Structure 1
Amino acid sequence: MTDRIGFIGLGNMGGRMTRCIVDAGVEVHGFDMQRAAVESAGAIPLGSSAEVAAQSDVVFLSLPDSKVVEKVVLQDAAFLSSLASGSVVVDLSTAAPSSTQRIHERLAEQGIAYLDAGISGGAAAAEKGALTLMVGGDAAALERVQPVLAHFATKVFHMGASGAGHSTKLLNNFLNAIALSATAEVMVAAKKAGLDLATVLDVLNASSGVNFATLNRFPKIITGDYLKGGLTNALMMKDVVLYVDHLHELGVASPNSSGPLASFGLAQALGYADQISNTVVDAIGDVSGHVRLHDPDPAGDGAARPTDTKD
């Protein structure tokens, strides 16, 4: 018997993952506070998370943070009572591993498997069904849901026990934040130094400074394409804070967290909170003499500030 699939949280990432599942010919029951998001993803709209649980054998979650996940899974009695013993909940959110482990223990009491599945690749990979997943939890449960995961992920790694997937996700996201914020600073400096930015990137990508941002983000950003649709500055800041909290729980020093905390904090303070995190380069540019890597106007006055235009 084929598992019935449910999806809760069909926003920027959840909607794209759901669309991949639906396009593969699999029926999905969905719930989101924005009903239009469910319909846009091609899922069958239901009126609550509990209704999705009642209609599904495997429930996917793609929610903003641990607080929201706990509100849905632990604090909604209707949701808990609607989950049948033997079902699987797959949490695709970016969440605190300690919270994940508490949820795992609670659901295990009802005979429900809980997998924490961190995702990487962003909106572009989600659109293509080419995400990377890092999963914690029961190996048998992961094997059971693998056919569904294959519709939106090309690489799936089993990281270990409950919480291991979300832990790995935070570690990866922190390195992403470091690369983006540090490269943004370097590129603003290159612009002010009068260097040709495309050539600077060629040098970095052939040298020891190469990273994901130099390879995949800034070749677009210097032409004015900020690759909209990905993680916002506010969400990037949230992920870095989660990382710092996680390291505190582990008893590990985090001296390198100050850079991205300062950079994405600056972006939020200057009005870029809800814009894609790549605009952190504009926030750094703002306090460096209103520098823009790409000048869309002949006068070279720079790109519009957040107060001038909205996404």
Structure 2
Amino acid sequence: MSDERLGFIGLGNMGGRIARCITGAGRELLGYDPRAEAIGEAGATAAASAREVAAQSDVVMLSLPDSRVVEAVMNGVDGVLAGVRAGTVVIDLSTAAPESTRRLHAELAARGAAYLDAGISGGAAAAEKGALTLMVGGEAAALERVAPVLDLFSASVFHCGPTGAGHTVKLLNNFLNAVSLAATAEVMVAARKADLDLSTVLDVINASSGVNFASLNRFPKIIQGDYLKGGLTNSLMLKDVTLYLELLADLGVTSLNSAGPVASFGLARALGYADEISNTVVDAIGDVSGGVRLHTAEHTEEGPRS
């Protein structure tokens, strides 16, 4: 595996961090991103197009916002499908619709290439440390082949099943993430308005049945004014919840719990937090609850953002 050529398309918030883990381990990387400076920041060699990355790489990684962008990067005269060679493994680290994933798998298979859908979890902090969790769909042989590459930026890798299974599990996980973040944000705003000590409230929650990832890992920082910049934005969180609802519609499963995160992250987007980390959903809820901020000594009266 060490002599295989590596390529990366999409060197943004998460992709850039993952790429730096790869180049930081001494591996050469051919990169493409519309933002040229992102390629240098990742320590990669610049390619002129996604097609060039595919044509010159044995393993191609994608980290893109959604299925629409993934399909645009895969298709067209300068897309991955135009340059990919037989024997190449394409690893999609995006959060994408499983049905789109299965279509792209078929397109690559027709060209003799493999496609792994590899949802990621752990956020920017885990990406910085090379400690992401990966949930992978696709052929076991392809996963085994690229395991040494995945080890450069992940701590846990789960083979979830055939093509589409990785992105399906990612949507299930992200929905629970969205629910717990939105619900905990609401609770913490209420705790502030009740004049409770927020550190004590978190200690109680984290020792009780309400404990969750947000209460353990996010809010101890947020109440100090550290929003853990660099993670999933409110717009992307809302996109993931929407993809989850589309998945459930395809499966014929009723969603009784989606209204909360749809309303919460939709509110954050409407109030001007669209491109800020999803942890700022607590400020959006605070805005419509009297201008509350968790990390100030006094309640503010700022009101909603314009």
TM class by smaller structure: over 0.9
The 1:77–1:295 alpha-carbon spacing in structure 2 relative to 1, beyond 3 Å, is closer
Q: Distance in 2 between matches of 1:277 and 1:94?
A: 16
How far did 1:259 drift? 0.4
The 1:64–1:122 alpha-carbon spacing in structure 2 relative to 1, beyond 3 Å, is same
Conservation of the 8 A alpha-carbon contact between 2:32 and 2:50: yes
Give the root-mean-square deviation of aligned CA atoms: 1.5
Q: Distance in 1 between matches of 2:302 and 2:200?
A: 21
- What SS class does the counterpart of residue 204 from structure 1 fall into? helix
Q: How does 1:20-169 map to 2 (within 5 A)?
A: 20-76=21-77, 79-169=80-170
- What SS class does the counterpart of residue 203 from structure 1 fall into? helix
Which residue in the other structure is 1:229 paired with? 230
How far did 1:29 drift? 0.1
Conservation of the 8 A alpha-carbon contact between 2:21 and 2:153: yes
Q: How does 1:232-271 map to 2 (within 5 A)?
A: 232-271=233-272
What TM-score do you get using the length of structure 2 for normalisation?
0.97
The 1:144–1:270 alpha-carbon spacing in structure 2 relative to 1, beyond 3 Å, is same
Aligned residue identity for 1:183: T
How far did 1:81 drift? 3.0
Q: Distance in 1 between matches of 2:222 and 2:177?
A: 16
Q: Distance in 2 between matches of 1:182 and 1:131?
A: 24
How far did 1:3 drift? 1.1
Q: Distance in 2 between matches of 1:69 and 1:242?
A: 14
Q: Distance in 2 between matches of 1:302 and 1:20?
A: 43
Conservation of the 8 A alpha-carbon contact between 1:7 and 1:29: yes
Conservation of the 8 A alpha-carbon contact between 2:268 and 2:274: yes
Which residue in the other structure is 1:209 paired with? 210
Which residue in the other structure is 1:301 paired with? 300
| 191-200 or 75-84, which deviates more | 75-84
- What SS class does the counterpart of residue 26 from structure 2 fall into? coil
Q: Distance in 2 between matches of 1:22 and 1:10?
A: 12
Which residue in the other structure is 2:185 paired with? 184
Structure 2 unaligned residues grouped into runs of 5+ = none
Conservation of the 8 A alpha-carbon contact between 2:9 and 2:33: yes
How far did 1:303 drift? 7.9
Q: Distance in 2 between matches of 1:108 and 1:259?
A: 40
How far did 1:59 drift? 0.3
Conservation of the 8 A alpha-carbon contact between 1:134 and 1:156: yes
How far did 1:77 drift? 6.1
- What SS class does the counterpart of residue 59 from structure 1 fall into? strand
What do the CA deviations read for 1:121-163 (whole angstroms, capped 9, x no partner)? Answer: 0010000000000000000000010000000001000000000
Which residue in the other structure is 1:273 paired with? 274
